[in-house]
Amino acid sequence: MAKAKHEATCQIEHDGKPYAEGDTIPLTDEQAAALIACGAVVVAGKADAKAPAEPAPEADAEQAE
């Protein structure tokens, strides 16, 4: 089965090998499914998708009024 590149979003251990946040991990679709579901990896190149959007500073000021 072909493996696609995924990026660790946190420090994890997979198949006995430690990976730091940002490391690339080759995973099969089956291996990746559980790790994506719990947020431990994202498809390589899409790491920004894991970070929640920050509210705009103007929105914070309006809420404070």
pLDDT tens per residue across span 28-65: 999 999 999 999 999 988 755 444 444 556 655 555 55
pLDDT of residue 45: 81
The pLDDT assigned to 42 comes to 95
- Shortest CA distance to 9 belongs to which of 57, 44, 34? 44
State the pLDDT at residue 11.
96
* Residue 50 burial (10 A CB sphere; 0-12, 13-18, 19+): middle
